[in-house]
Amino acid sequence: MTEVRIAEECAAPAEQAFAFINDYRNLPKFWYGIESFTPVTAQTDGVGAKFDGKMKLGPASLTSRVEVVGWEEGRLIATKSIKGIEIVSTFRFIPKGDTACAVEADIDFSVGGGLAGKVLAKTIEPFVKIAVQHTTDSLIKEIEKSHREQV
């Protein structure tokens, strides 16, 4: 399993950063390699919401169904794959006063066992690390842009 952890400062309140990422329609604005992210339940936020996603990492196109397994309004969103490649992601929003926050992203990623899984993991591991850093950087920029537009 590839684990990547990133923490970045953001010039927007934690509640606003949370609201931006909580809206699944914003995912293509910041998530590196995402080709599609579609709800498969009527519920689109909170614990129990499920989505089908497809992303391109280097030479591989990967699919997964994820479920929101952790959700604390204004503070945390966590998802875990329930079908396809194994992905566990957690985004935390830590207030830093009234106008800023820290965004922490933890992404654990596995393509499965066996020889084929090991080969694919070695092939895409460098892309996973780049993707998580790019995703976090883009997320911060998009949150700050959204915040400026609302002020």
Q: pLDDT tens digits, residue range 56-86?
A: 877 778 888 999 999 999 999 999 999 987 8
Q: What is the pLDDT of residue 131?
A: 75
Give the three-state DSSP class for 149: helix
The pLDDT mean for the chain works out to 87
Higher pLDDT, 87 or 22: 22
Residue 20 has pLDDT above 90, yes or no: yes
pTM of the entire predicted model: 0.83
pLDDT value of residue 52: 96
The H or E element spanning position 63 is strand 60-72
Higher pLDDT, 48 or 115: 48
Tens digits of residue pLDDT in 31-62: 888 899 999 999 999 999 999 999 887 777 88
Single out the residue of 132, 136, 151, 130 nearest to residue 10, CA to CA. 136
> What pLDDT, on the 0 to 100 scale, is given for residue 145?
92
Count the Cβ atoms, other than its own, within 10 Å of residue 72: 13
Please report, for the chain, the start and end positions of each structural domain, with discontinuous segments joined by +. Answer: 2-150
- DSSP 8-state secondary structure symbol assigned to residue 78: E
C-alpha closest to that of 145 among 11, 22, 24: 11
Domain 2-150, CATH among 3.40.605.10, 2.40.100.20, 3.30.530.20, 1.25.10.10 = 3.30.530.20
Q: Is the pLDDT of residue 120 over 80?
A: no
